[in-house]
Amino acid sequence: MKSYKKAQTKFLEQVVGFGFLRLCMLIILGILSVIFFDIISKSWGVITWEFLTQSPRNGMAEGGILPTIVGTVLITIITAIFSVPLGMGCAIYLNEYAGTGKLTRLIRISIRNLSGVPSIVYGLFGVALFVEAMHFGTCILSAGLTLGLMTLPWTITASEEALKGVPMSYREGSLALGATQWQSIRTNVLPYAIPGMLTGTILGLARAAGETAPILFTGAAFALPGLPKSLFDQFMAMPYHLYIMSTQHHAIEIVRPIAYGTALVLILVVFLMNLSAIVLRYHLRKSRQE
């Protein structure tokens, strides 16, 4: 019995261990709340109904940010339409059909690496491919597709993780009953992987919505007189607008509140997207458990 640790020592170790973990959590929470508090306090008076529903006026020193909200929402929709089905399909192929050969491993490593490529590089690539080679010009479509390319690795990786989470025995069980592989995937794998796939995907989209670099050369405009009328129009976007308002405007000090207001709206939009991911996952999980 001698070789066992004393209960007191074990208790002390536990207190120290948990104490350290708690400290980490508190530090992060502290940093986050300072940022959040700073933004909210400086933008509080700015967020009005007008701010959300009107275009900028007077050299963007007055008025609202409606075109930037519309622009960001539109490109995010394009991004989603492009990258969600493609990413999920690719993940299903890689995880369920591709096997474990060298080529599959190479593809997977490449995808992991792509998710580490700086977003400005995607921006450059978007110019070359969508704007020039495919002649879309600088527009909503080009920017949305560029962001879509950028989020693909994320979507694929998140979807693959969700598929890996479905126990092998579900696949075996259905195959043993004479299901084809596709039947097995459709009826006995996807239903359990979809919540996780969607969550990962929406988080990727939320990140895309806040990106500036990829849209910078592919369609985002400094200032526009009206709302875009087609997918081939240029657009204003919140992250880019924020960048302009904080560094490029001729009267930076005066428009500072507008910059903070834009920041808060952007954070709220991203937060809403994340929240919808959580709610969606919760409901899908619950309906599966009935």
Report, in Å, the least distance between residue 177 CB and another protein. 4
Phi-psi region of 88 (alpha: psi -120 to 50; beta: other; left: phi over 0): alpha
DSSP H helical segments within 46-139, as ranges? 49-53, 66-92, 102-114, 119-126
Report, in Å, the least distance between residue 17 CB and another protein. 34
Residue 129 lies near another protein (rule: CB under 8 A): no
- With CA atoms as reference, report the closest residue to 264 among 94, 68, 101, 91: 68
Report, in Å, the least distance between residue 158 CB and another protein. 21
Report, in Å, the least distance between residue 160 CB and another protein. 16
How many angstroms separate the CA atoms of 127 and 16, rounded? 53
Residue 288 lies near another protein (rule: CB under 8 A): yes
Binding flags for another protein, 177-216, as an x/- string (CB under 8 A): xxxx--x---xx---x------------------------
Cβ distance to another protein smaller for residue 166 or 269 = 166
Residue 100 lies near another protein (rule: CB under 8 A): yes
CB count in 10 Å sphere of residue 281: 18
Report, in Å, the least distance between residue 205 CB and another protein. 28
Cβ distance to another protein smaller for residue 171 or 256 = 171
For residues 281 and 196, is the Cβ–Cβ distance under 8 A? yes
What letters, b where the CB count within 10 A reaches 16 and e where it falls short, cover 137-157? ebbbbbbbbbbbbbbbbbbbb
Size of the site for another protein (CB under 8 A): 23
Residue 50 lies near another protein (rule: CB under 8 A): no
Cβ distance to another protein smaller for residue 192 or 243 = 192
Span from 167-175, 220-228, 236-244, 274-282 in contact with another protein (CB under 8 A): 167-175
Report, in Å, the least distance between residue 91 CB and another protein. 19
For residues 75 and 146, is the Cβ–Cβ distance under 8 A? no
Cβ distance to another protein smaller for residue 132 or 172 = 172
For residues 228 and 10, is the Cβ–Cβ distance under 8 A? no
Residue 174 lies near another protein (rule: CB under 8 A): yes
Residue 165 lies near another protein (rule: CB under 8 A): no
**∠59-73-195 over CA atoms, to 5°?**
155
Residue 98 lies near another protein (rule: CB under 8 A): no
Inter-helix orientation angle 252-289/66-92, to 10°: 40
Residue 176 lies near another protein (rule: CB under 8 A): yes
Report, in Å, the least distance between residue 261 CB and another protein. 46
Give the residue, chosen from 15, 23, 173, 282, that forms a contact with another protein under the rule CB under 8 A. 173
* CB-based contacts of 91, cutoff 8 Å, min separation 6: 155, 156, 157, 159, 160, 162, 163, 197
Give the residue, chosen from 86, 175, 227, 231, that forms a contact with another protein under the rule CB under 8 A. 175
Q: Are strands 62-63 and 56-57 parallel, antiparallel or unpaired?
A: antiparallel
Whole-angstrom CA distances from 132 to 127, 129, 161 are 6, 6, 35
Residues at the site binding another protein, with contacts judged by CB under 8 A: 99-100, 167-180, 183, 187-188, 192, 288-290
